[in-house]
Every structure is written in C-alpha cells, then in structure tokens.
Amino acid sequence: MQNLSQSPLDPDFVQNPYPFYDRVRQGGPFVVWPEYGFRVTARAAIVGMALRDRRMGREAPPDQAVDIPSHLEPFYAIERHSMLELEAPRHTRLRKLVAKAFTSGRIAAMEEQIVALSHRLIDALPEDGCDLLEHFAKPLPVIVISRLLGVPETDGPQLLAWSNAMVQMYQARRDISLEEDAAKASAEFAAYLGALIEARRKSPGEDLISELIAVEEEGVHLSRDELISTVILLLNAGHEATVHMIGNGVKTLIEQSVAPHWLEPARIEGTIEELLRFDPPLHLFTRWLYEDMEFQGQVLKKGERVGLLLAGANRDPSAWDDASVFDASRPVRTNFSFGAGAHFCIGAPLARLELRIAIPMLFARLRDLSLPRRPYYADLYHFHGLERLEVTYSKA
C-alpha cells in the first residue's frame, strides 16, 4: 500500500490541502498517511460506506485503550460521556434522549431570533470595513447556542474561550501547553455547567438544558456527567464549525464573484450546500475497526484506525462533475460535511439555518463586500478555517 507523506503543519498544506487529497484519491482506495500512522481515504464511495458501517466506530476497542496522562484527566472526564466518542448501545441511548429535546420545532423557533441577532451584529459593524470573523462570525453562533441552552448571553465570551481551548486537543499543532489549556478549560466549563444544571433542576425554564434534564427513555434520564458532556459537545462542535463555515463561505462567494440571485430565498439552500461541499470546516474524521473486514479490495484488521478525509470526498470527481469548481447551480446531493450514519451531526439543522439567514443578509446589507487582501487559513488542522476575514463594504 502506498505511503503519502504530508505534514499537516506545512504552511502550504494549511492554505490548500486539496492537492494532497487528490493524491490520496489517486493513490488507491486507501493510502497510509505516515504523519498520522493510519490509512486514509478521500474517495466519496468509501467514505460514505465507512461512515455507515457498524463494524467501524468512534469508540476505541478495549485493547486499544491508552493510559490518560494525569494532566489530561479533566478533558477525558468529559470525552468519556460524549456522544461523539461512543457507540451503541450508549450512543443510541444518548442520541435518542438528546433528539427528544433538540427537536426540529425547537430549532425552527430560533429563526426569528437569528434574523434579529444577525441584523443587530451588522448594525454594530464599523462603517467601512472590519474583520468579519471577530465582529460577526464568532459572536453569532455562540449567542444562538447560549440562548438555546439557556446560558446567560453575557457569558458568551467565556464559553467561547473555553470552547477554543478545548478543541485544540483535536489539532495537529497540539503540544503540552495546549493540552494544559484544554484541561483547565474542561474543568472550569464542567464546574460552570454543573452549577447551572443544579439551578435548572430546582427551577426549570423553557431552555434546552431544562428539557435535557427532563427527557427520559424507558424511565432512564441523562446522568449529570452525560448532561455536562452533551451541552459542551453541542456548544463546541456547533460553534466551531459554524464560525469557520461563515468565514469560508463568505470568502468563497466573494472570490468566485457569485451573482446575487444565488443568495435569494428560492436558491439559497442549494448555494449553502455547495459552500459546505466546496470548503467545509471539518476535514478528517477517524474510525476504529471492530472486526477484520475487506473494504474495496483492501483487507482491514480489527483494532486498526482509518481516517476519512471528508473534504477530499466532497471533491471526488466520480461523485461530482468538475468537483474542484464552485458551482452554485449544482444539483443538491449529499455531501460529507456533517458526516453520515449514526454520527451524522445532530446540530446540522441549526447550522444550516444560521448559514441560510446570515450569509444572504451580509451580502444584502454590506454593499460592495470585498476582500482588500488575501485571507489566510489558520493552523488548525484537522479543522479548516480562516485566521481573519478582513472585508470592506458600505453599509446599507
């Protein structure tokens, strides 16, 4: 099997990882990425099958368990109860309970608030230009999720700081200093939510945390640790991805000179799906094998870990015509930006709603929205998002 070496910290790769994904795809069903020490694939058919195959999963097999360094215990105390890191039957039970509270009706009811908040943030923008990530893309989703959960909006900056510190654990640039920051943030975030959950038990509201406390399946509720992990997952995963997607999406629309009619209500859904396909915020999703299996002619062994290059699969020319080209008129078909199968992103409907509202509003209210200089992607892999998004405009 072919080895394809590529440092995820290489500046050229950070700015444009897609040529590497092309090489991976051309190298076969799977190639070995030595910097990570496992096989990866960028083929859409294989990624789709792997995400849905129950012989693979996120949870490490018992014989692959590693000793957790003491300084990371606060972080893994949360991870042990996270839906994202579990498989059936625990994952099934948790997902069912969370889905009972995190309903489509609850999300749809946020639309009016998201519209008003987006207008408020645009009203507050400097008159002729700014860093759109700092002034709009970062505050919007954290305020939305705070309101949904029933967390005081004024605590948004602190939630954002904890979230940013924790997700550094998933980045290729992770080192001991970032690990210590993540562990400290985990402990503080868990203590904050523990106190908030106890307050909601005594005095429930109409927020999602109160609903998560109340939901049950066959008489079983979420435990305190599961509640804390679930709330942190909803905030961290939802916030990080939406920030990056707003930034990547605005950048793409400006660079591609996309005509305004592609942002009209009748067409915006397809445009958002194409933005998600073309330059998504999450690029790598790993799976463990729970038994020996043959996959597309490759023999995979129990206990192996494989990497699914979601962004590479999104540009597979066998699945999309002119896959490397942004085309807002492209017929909508399933992409992999929110995953698939049992771990399909539970927050996808909320993220899509935020994007459908925020992106057209930015272009409608900020006339001549343009990039005075090239934006650069931050060193965040396996995430993919901008350092800054400096724009100029005249406000409508």
- How many domains does one find in the chain? 1
What 3-state DSSP class applies to 369?
strand
Give the Cα separation of 146 and 359 in Å (integer). 20
Does residue 245 form part of some domain? yes
CB 307 within 8 A of CB 6: no
CB 286 within 8 A of CB 52: no
Please count the residues of the chain.
396
Token pair for 370:
């343009």
In sequence order, the β-bridge partners of residue 306 are 39, 287
Phi first, then psi: what are they for 362, rounded to 5°?
A: -60, -45
CB 324 within 8 A of CB 256: no
In the 8-state DSSP scheme, what is residue 29?
A: S
Does residue 2 form part of some domain? no
For residue 303, the model assigns a pLDDT of: 93
Give the Cα separation of 312 and 262 in Å (integer). 25
CB 317 within 8 A of CB 42: no
Element (H, E) at 144: helix 139-149
Chain centre distance of CA 389: 19
Does residue 3 form part of some domain? no
Does residue 218 form part of some domain? yes
Give the Cα separation of 177 and 179 in Å (integer). 5
Does residue 295 form part of some domain? yes
How far apart, in Å, do the first and last CA atoms of the chain sit? 57
Which amino acid is it at 196? L
For residue 30, the model assigns a pLDDT of: 96
Does the reported pTM lie above 0.85? Answer: yes
Report the CATH number that the domain containing residue 205 is assigned in CATH.
Answer: 1.10.630.10
Q: Look at strands 305-309 and 38-41 and give their pairing.
A: parallel
Does residue 6 form part of some domain? no
Does residue 273 form part of some domain? yes
For residue 206, the model assigns a pLDDT of: 92
For residue 391, the model assigns a pLDDT of: 98
DSSP string covering 104-159: HHHHHTTHHHHHHHHHHHHHTS-SSEEEHIIIIITHHHHHHHHHHHT--GGGHHHH
Give the Cα separation of 147 and 359 in Å (integer). 20
- Look up tokens 């005095």; give the residue: 203
The CB density around residue 270, as the number of other CB atoms within 10 Å, is: 16
For residue 324, the model assigns a pLDDT of: 97
In sequence order, the β-bridge partners of residue 122 are none
pLDDT along the chain (396 residues), means of 10: 95 98 97 97 96 94 84 96 94 93 93 97 96 97 92 90 94 96 97 95 94 86 94 87 96 96 96 98 96 88 96 98 96 94 94 97 97 97 97 92
Domain containing 42 equals 11-395
- Nearest CA-CA partner of 77 in 171, 169, 148, 178: 169
Does residue 288 form part of some domain? yes
